[in-house]
């Protein structure tokens, strides 16, 4: 019986820790980092400008020259899609219509090397 209680506790702890710590890691540019398919994706914003720094599996910058992506922004009861453009060496950049306020949700979606990357952020 104790074995099942211990297993239930482990499952509960690991399932609640993952999402809670997804944005606690800060990247080299002082933005939150989320890992998707082994790629670290750091989100930085300045006003309405959104910059996503994409890392490769080994932690090095991933060239974004051929990458396609978008950011979905949920703010003020509206959902807006912003197309992102690759910028050397490893950035995907786009601009929202308005400045990003606190607690706005941003979802990055991109395609690289035949697989999809997705990362979710809440603006602090």
For 33-46, what is each residue's pLDDT tens digit?
999 999 999 999 99
Does residue 16 lie in a domain region? no
Specify the pLDDT at position 12.
44
**For residue 78, pLDDT beyond 70:** yes
Mean pLDDT confidence for 3-30: 53
Residue 63 lies in a domain: yes
* pLDDT score of 93 more than 70: yes
Residue 100 contacts residue 78 (beta carbons within 8 Å): no
- The answer to the question of residue 81 being in a domain is yes
Residue 37 lies in a domain: yes
List pLDDT tens digits, range 50-76: 999 999 989 899 999 999 999 999 998
pTM to 2 decimals?
0.80
How many structural domains is the chain composed of?
1
Measuring CA to CA, which residue among 18, 122, 17, 112 is closest to residue 57? 112
Rounded CA-CA distance 88/22 in Å is: 26
CATH number of the domain encompassing residue 37? 2.60.40
- Determine whether 23 is exposed, middle or buried from the number of CB atoms within 10 Å of its CB (0-12, 13-18, 19+): middle
Structure-token match 């994409």, residue found:
54
In a domain, residue 18? The reply is no
pLDDT of residue 4: 43
Domain encompassing residue 46: 23-122
């Amino acid at each position: 019986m104790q074995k099942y209680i211990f297993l239930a506790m482990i499952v509960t702890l690991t399932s609640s820790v993952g999402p809670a710590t997804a944005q606690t890691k800060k990247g080299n540019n002082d933005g939150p980092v989320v890992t998707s398919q082994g790629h670290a994706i750091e989100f930085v914003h300045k006003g309405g400008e959104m910059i996503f720094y994409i890392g490769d599996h080994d932690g090095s910058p991933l060239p974004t020259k051929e990458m396609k992506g978008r950011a979905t922004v949920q703010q003020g009861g509206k959902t807006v899609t912003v197309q992102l453009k690759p910028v050397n060496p490893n950035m995907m950049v786009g601009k929202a219509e308005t400045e990003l306020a606190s607690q706005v949700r941003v979802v990055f979606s991109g395609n690289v090397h035949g697989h999809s990357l997705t990362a979710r952020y809440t603006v602090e």
